[in-house]
């Protein structure tokens, strides 16, 4: 299940001795933190996405069947690769002793997983018919048993080559099932007769082999150690007794074989019931048992998804089949989300869950800790691609707020713009302006200079942008333009009243230039602004405000003087005829 963290408290009555209460943080599903398993998650994600996208491409049913089988084999090879890696690391000296156990454990799990998957592939996906079914099962068993057995098999085989020649000529090649069946029965009868006749009486070894060949159960059971597992026994029995076994007949033999082999010596284990359920073609039971037995959703989620693509879940009367698939995928993906980097894989899984995928993603993605800007941008991109507007806004707001707290105004501003948060943008613009008043310079000029249309988000922001533009024009010595802009900031009421004094003070250097910059009309407007500011001033109350007032008064005087002088010069200039 999801690796949600639980934190809970311990409380107990301190009884005399001062006990320190504990808080325990619990986590589920540590598996996702295994570095080697990560490869499994990554690669299976790749296969998964490929499978989802295949649906429409493939035209014929046959091709589809081939493709799905291919995908299944891909999954299995990924499992094997992971297993081999784990084994390699466990066997090497890299890791500490007690860690080794965990690795071995993981290998065990993967072995079981691959065993089950392989069987499911044979029975459900390849859906081998009678005849080739046994061949596939043979392959399956061979792949999963220890080397020891293989050697024994070889020995057995080498003894009587001639007799086996016809035997190994199985159907699918040159003969039909019936032809084979007839031949096989004849051969079987022949072997049986040999036994009855005691032809091999003098050679107990040969007799044993013959007994095996006729599929004598007792003899086979005696070879238990070589067979190691009941399903090996099953396949062996089938090989010697019922090579043309049909898929529908499998479960009879399976149950019987298991009972015979285990013989009450040991109880059937979870893996046994899973395999049995597979032989019974009870997909639902297989999935159910696997979910319980394995503590990771990876296996059931991917297998169920694959089976769903084969349309197998429906055909097995699982009407809630696609619900089941989605349920498992959601569980798996939710688990991935708690991992600091694997969460990105989870996104694709959610994308392919039509019913609840989107809402799960929305809920999960907004909880991803936004440690760095880079991570935040990653999360944002995912949300933007999916038109998750509210999540985008929220994430940007969180980042803006964080930046503001740390006094990174530029960052805060750019996040608010991205969040389209006018109120916050206004607030930050105010701060910028305040900073300017205090320090005389702007921080984050790059950002403000390149606002573009974002400037329109809030009035204050527009003012900030335009004001900065004024500074730029001034620096570039485009005085006339600068002057015009400055004036318009006041007349068009873009500038807040509180800032007018600063603007007028900014006008001073322009007024005191040798050449006349502000025209007479413009000067009248400036004067008008000044008057607007100075009317309705209240008498100072405190000592401090008296001081401030004095400074103000001086400034105003300076301004009046400069404006008057400029006006005079302007009038003269405008009144002079060009010579």
Partner 1 sequence: MFVARSIAADHKDLIHDVSYDFHGRRMATCSSDQSVKVWDKSESGEWHCTASWKTHSGSVWRVTWAHPEFGQVLASCSFDRTAAVWEEIVGESNDKQRGQSHWIKRTTLVDSRTSVTDVKFAPKHMGLMLTTCSADGVVRIYEAPDVMNLSQWSLQHEISSKLSCSCISWNPSSSRAHPPMIAVGSDDSCVTYGGKVQIYEYNENTRKYAKAETLMTVTDPVHDLAFAPNLGRSFHVLAVATKDVRIFKLMPMRKETATSSGPTKFEVQIMAQFDHHNSQVWRVSWNITSTLLASSGDDGCVRLWKANYMDNWKCTGILKGDGSPVIGSSGQPVALSAAGGSSALASQNALNGVMAGRYFFPPLDPPWAGSRYAHLLPPPSLIEQTCESESSRSQQTLLRRRFSGPALHSLPEKEGV
Which residues 323-352 are close enough to bind partner 1 by CB under 8 A? 323-324, 326-327, 330-331, 334
Interface with partner 1 includes 35 (CB under 8 A)?
Answer: no
Work out how close the CB of 422 gets to partner 1 at its nearest, in angstroms, rounded to a whole number: 14
Which one of 47, 71, 82, 107 is in contact with partner 1 (CB under 8 A)?
Answer: 107
DSSP 497: G
Site for partner 1 in 273-312 (CB under 8 A): 287-288, 291-295, 297
Q: Indicate the residue among 14 and 50 with the shorter CB distance to partner 1.
A: 14
Q: Give the Cα separation of 160 and 184 in Å (integer).
A: 17
Q: How far apart are CB 98 and partner 1 at their closest, in Å?
A: 7
Options 370, 482, 489, 530; binder of partner 1; rule CB under 8 A: 370
Residue number, 387 or 453, with CB nearest to partner 1: 387
Q: 304 to each of 46, 299, 327, 425, how far by Cα in Å?
A: 16, 8, 10, 49
458 binds partner 1 (CB under 8 A): no
Which residue from 427, 448, 494, 567 is in contact with partner 1, where contact means CB under 8 A? 427
Nearer to partner 1, 106 or 244 (CB): 106
Cα–Cα distances (Å) from 386 to 242, 308, 345, 347, 381, in that order, read 56, 25, 15, 11, 9
The interface region with partner 1, picked from 68-76, 251-259, 265-273, 563-571 by CB under 8 A, is 265-273
From 311, 367, 493, 528, residue interacting with partner 1 (rule: CB under 8 A): 367
Inter-CA distances, 245 with 117, 192, 217, 288, 346, Å? 21, 20, 17, 27, 42
23 and 9 Cβ atoms separated by less than 8 Å: yes
* Binds partner 1 (CB under 8 A): choice among 70, 105, 142, 185: 105
20 in contact with partner 1 (CB under 8 A): yes
Contact track, partner 1, 142-181, x by CB under 8 A: ----xx----------------------------------
Residue 159 CB, nearest approach to partner 1 (Å)? 26
Could you say which residues in the range 58-87 bind partner 1, by CB under 8 A? Answer: 87
Q: What are phi and psi of 10, to 5 degrees?
A: -110, 130
Q: Does 265 bind partner 1 (CB under 8 A)?
A: no
Min dist CB 7 to partner 1, Å, is 5
The tokens of 255 are what? 């149950």
What is the spatial distance between Cα 300 and Cα 86, in angstroms, rounded to a whole number? 21
Q: Which of 189, 248, 406, 554 is in the footprint of partner 1 by CB under 8 A?
A: 406
Candidates 66, 407, 478, 550: give the one binding partner 1 (CB under 8 A). 407
Q: Is 183 helix (H, G, I), strand (E, B) or coil?
A: helix
Residue 231 exposed, middle or buried by CB count within 10 Å (0-12, 13-18, 19+): buried
Q: Using the rule CB under 8 A, is 369 a contact of partner 1?
A: yes
d(CA 500, CA 489): 9
End-to-end Cα, the chain, rounded Å? 92
Q: Does 428 bind partner 1 (CB under 8 A)?
A: no
CB of 20 to partner 1, least distance (A): 5
Rounded CA gap, 233 and 222, in Å? Answer: 11
The smaller minimum CB distance to partner 1, of residues 243 and 357, is found at 357
Residues 220-239 that bind partner 1 (CB under 8 A): 228-229
Residue 249 or 459: the one with the smaller Cβ distance to partner 1 is 459
**Other beta carbons within 10 Å of 433:** 20
CB of 94 to partner 1, least distance (A): 16
User: Vertex 553, ends 550 and 557: CA angle to 5°?
Assistant: 140
419/490 with CB nearer partner 1: 419
Give the total of residues touching partner 1 (CB under 8 A). Answer: 86
At residue 294's C-alpha, the angle toward residues 291 and 298, to 5°, is 75
184 or 415: CB nearest partner 1: 415
Does 96 interact with partner 1 (rule: CB under 8 A)?
A: no
- Cβ-proximal residues to 27 (8 Å cutoff; 6+ apart), any chain: 3, 5, 6
* CB closer to partner 1, 112 vs 123: 112
| 150 or 574: CB nearest partner 1 | 150
3-state secondary structure of 187: helix
- In order, the DSSP letters of 269-332 are -HHHHHHHHHHTT-HHHHHHHHHHH-S-SHHHHHHHHHHHHTTHHHHTT-TTHHHHHHHHHHHH
- Restricted to residues 121-140, the positions that interact with partner 1 (CB under 8 A) are none
């Amino acid at each position: 299940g999801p690796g949600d963290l639980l934190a809970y408290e311990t409380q107990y009555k301190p009884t005399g001795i001062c006990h320190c209460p504990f808080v325990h943080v619990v986590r589920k599903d540590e598996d996702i933190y295994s570095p080697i398993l990560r490869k499994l998650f990554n690669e299976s994600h790749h296969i998964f996405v490929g499978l989802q996208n295949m649906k429409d491409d493939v035209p014929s049913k046959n091709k589809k069947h081939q493709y799905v089988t291919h995908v299944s084999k891909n999954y299995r090879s990924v499992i094997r690769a992971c297993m081999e890696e784990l084994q390699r690391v466990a066997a090497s000296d890299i890791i500490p002793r007690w860690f080794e156990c965990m690795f071995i454990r993981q290998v065990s799990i993967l072995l079981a997983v691959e065993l089950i998957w392989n069987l499911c592939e044979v029975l459900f996906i390849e859906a081998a018919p009678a005849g080739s079914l046994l061949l596939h099962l043979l392959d399956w068993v061979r792949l999963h048993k220890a080397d020891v057995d293989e050697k024994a098999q070889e020995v057995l085989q080498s003894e009587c080559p001639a007799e086996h020649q016809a035997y190994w000529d199985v159907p699918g090649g040159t003969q039909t099932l019936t032809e084979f069946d007839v031949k096989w029965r004849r051969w079987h009868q022949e072997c049986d007769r040999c036994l009855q006749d005691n032809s091999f009486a003098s050679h107990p070894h040969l007799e044993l082999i013959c007994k095996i060949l006729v599929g004598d159960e007792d003899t086979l059971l005696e070879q238990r150690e070589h067979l190691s597992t009941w399903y090996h026994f099953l396949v062996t029995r089938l090989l010697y007794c019922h090579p043309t076994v049909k898929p529908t007949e499998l479960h009879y033999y399976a149950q019987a074989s298991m009972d015979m082999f285990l013989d009450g010596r040991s109880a059937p284990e979870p893996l046994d019931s899973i395999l049995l359920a597979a032989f019974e073609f009870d997909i639902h039971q297989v999935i159910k048992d696997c979910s319980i037995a394995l503590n990771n959703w990876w296996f059931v989620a991917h297998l169920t998804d694959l089976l769903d693509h084969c349309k197998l879940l429906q055909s097995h009367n699982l009407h809630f089949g696609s619900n089941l698939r989605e349920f498992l995928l959601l569980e798996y993906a939710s688990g991935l989300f708690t991992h600091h980097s694997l969460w990105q894989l989870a996104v694709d899984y959610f994308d392919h869950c039509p019913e609840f995928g989107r809402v799960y993603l929305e809920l999960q993605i907004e909880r991803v800790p936004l440690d760095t800007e880079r991570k935040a941008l990653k999360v944002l991109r995912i949300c933007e691609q999916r038109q998750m507007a509210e999540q985008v806004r929220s994430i940007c707001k969180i980042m803006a707020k964080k930046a503001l707290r740390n006094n990174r105004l530029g960052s805060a501003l750019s996040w608010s713009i991205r969040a389209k948060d006018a109120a916050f943008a206004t607030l930050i613009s105010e701060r910028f302006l305040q900073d300017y008043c205090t320090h005389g310079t702007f921080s984050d000029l790059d950002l403000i200079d390149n606002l573009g249309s974002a400037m329109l988000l809030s009035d204050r922001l527009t003012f900030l942008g335009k004001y900065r533009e004024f500074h730029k024009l001034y620096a570039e010595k485009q005085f006339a333009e600068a002057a015009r802009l400055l004036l318009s900031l006041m007349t068009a009421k873009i500038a807040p009243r509180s800032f007018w004094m600063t603007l007028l003070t900014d006008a001073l250097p322009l007024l005191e230039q040798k050449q006349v910059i502000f025209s007479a009309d413009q000067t009248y407007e400036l004067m008008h602004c000044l008057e607007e500011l100075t009317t309705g001033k209240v008498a100072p109350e405190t000592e401090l405000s008296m001081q401030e007032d004095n400074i103000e008064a001086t400034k105003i005087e300076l301004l009046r003087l400069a404006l008057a002088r400029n006006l005079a010069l302007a009038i003269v200039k405008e009144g002079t005829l060009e010579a």
